[in-house]
């Protein structure tokens, strides 16, 4: 059933993404690139929360580190999008390794609070280090990647396709990871860590590997976000950025590979439309999330899964009711 949900979501989301890339206006290309970047961020967090059972409130640290690493490298060294993004990912992965070695020693609420503490530590350094990060004013004027006139596309259309392709590659790699022996260990450590430890596998080591992978992917999203907004600001490191990604994961559905993608697209679209008619758009989002948690704890993907199960059950019930009629017809003499 889970594979059916993922296939259905892919059939819904992929044609929309292709349509934006081929026919989309400048406004839709900008919106599509933002959705792809936030989806990358949410997918990286879902690796911890959904697949690993590790709730992180400090995931924004690696998003911001990726943004600052890529942005500062591009501005000070004049390098292109690809090497700058790799530097941002490497910086985020390095700090994820350093912080993760301490965080995975604790679990549940203590793990969550440790991640939050490290995130706020990084934010405070960026907020005060005026010479490097620009302090609370941030840094504006990050150069937009130039792709020439290849295929007659604008730079904005190229950037959208790069974000979309990277998202698809990351989703495929996470799909393979979830079905690998490591993915099985990570899921087992989530469900029964004591048994995994008893079998001779180090649970903290498995969680640390997942933590570093998630941090590197968050750094990738942050690097792309820096080029998308053409600026670097301390807010990228603040814990509320991670809370937004967590909202997307919950809205779309944890334990679903494409759930965070659906959540990112839905939340950003609602925010965009809500700001057009009310200044209390955050209240609209809050009411929607509250109702979803109360009536559909599995998120949008979980609600779709329940709909499929109800349809299947109803079909089986109808088949069971029609079975006696068919048996009577067979017994009737011709």
Mean pLDDT in residue range 166-182: 95
Residue 56 to residue 46: CA distance in whole angstroms: 10
Closest-CA residue to 257 (of 34, 9, 35) = 9
Q: Furthest-apart CA pair in the chain: how many Å?
A: 95
201 touches 43 (CB < 8 A): no
**Cβ atoms within 10 Å, residue 128:** 11
Residue 249 to residue 268: CA distance in whole angstroms: 13
**pLDDT tens digits, one per residue of 49-101:** 999 999 999 999 999 999 999 999 999 998 999 999 999 999 999 999 999 99
Residue 192 to residue 198: CA distance in whole angstroms: 10
Pairing of strands 139-140, 231-232: antiparallel
| pLDDT score for 321 | 53
Residue 236 to residue 222: CA distance in whole angstroms: 8
DSSP reduced 3-state for 274: helix
Mean of pLDDT over the chain: 88
Does residue 334 register a pLDDT over 60?
A: no
| pLDDT score for 3 | 64
Tell me the β-bridge partners of 232: 139
Residue 129 to residue 120: CA distance in whole angstroms: 14
| pLDDT score for 272 | 84
Closest-CA residue to 241 (of 52, 1, 44) = 44
Residue 211 to residue 111: CA distance in whole angstroms: 12
**pLDDT tens digits, one per residue of 104-153:** 999 889 999 999 999 999 999 999 999 999 888 899 888 888 887 777 78
């Amino acid at each position: 059933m889970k594979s059916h949900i993922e296939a259905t979501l892919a059939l819904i989301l992929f044609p929309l993404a292709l349509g934006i890339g081929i026919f989309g206006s400048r406004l839709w290309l900008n919106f599509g690139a933002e959705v792809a970047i936030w989806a990358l961020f949410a997918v990286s967090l879902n690796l911890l929360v959904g697949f690993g059972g590790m709730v992180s409130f400090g995931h924004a640290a690696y998003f911001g580190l990726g943004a600052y690493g890529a942005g500062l490298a591009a501005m000070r060294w004049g390098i292109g999008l690809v090497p700058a993004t790799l530097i941002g990912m490497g910086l985020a992965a390095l700090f994820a390794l350093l912080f993760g070695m301490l965080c995975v020693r604790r679990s549940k609420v203590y793990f969550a609070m440790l991640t939050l503490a490290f995130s706020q530590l990084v934010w405070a350094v960026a907020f005060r280090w005026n010479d490097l990060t620009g302090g609370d004013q941030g840094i504006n004027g990050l150069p937009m990647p130039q792709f020439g006139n290849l295929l007659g596309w604008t730079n904005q259309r190229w950037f959208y396709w790069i974000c979309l392709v990277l998202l698809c590659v990351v989703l495929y790699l996470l799909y393979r990871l979830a079905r690998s022996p490591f993915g099985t260990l990570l899921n087992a450590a989530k469900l029964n860590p004591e048994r995994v430890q008893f079998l001779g596998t180090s649970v903290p080591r498995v969680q640390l590997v997942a933590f570093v992978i998630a941090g590197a992917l968050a750094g990738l999203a942050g690097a792309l976000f820096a080029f998308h907004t053409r600026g670097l600001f301390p807010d990228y490191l603040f814990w509320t950025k991670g809370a937004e990604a967590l909202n997307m994961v919950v809205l779309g559905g944890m334990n679903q590979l494409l759930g965070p993608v659906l959540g990112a697209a839905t939340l950003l679209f609602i925010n965009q439309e809500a700001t057009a008619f009310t200044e209390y758009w955050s209240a609209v989002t809050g009411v929607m999330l509250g109702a979803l948690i109360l009536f559909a704890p599995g998120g949008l993907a979980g609600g779709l899964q329940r709909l499929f199960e109800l349809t299947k059950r109803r079909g089986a019930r109808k088949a069971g009711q029609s079975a006696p009629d068919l048996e009577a017809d067979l017994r009737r003499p011709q």
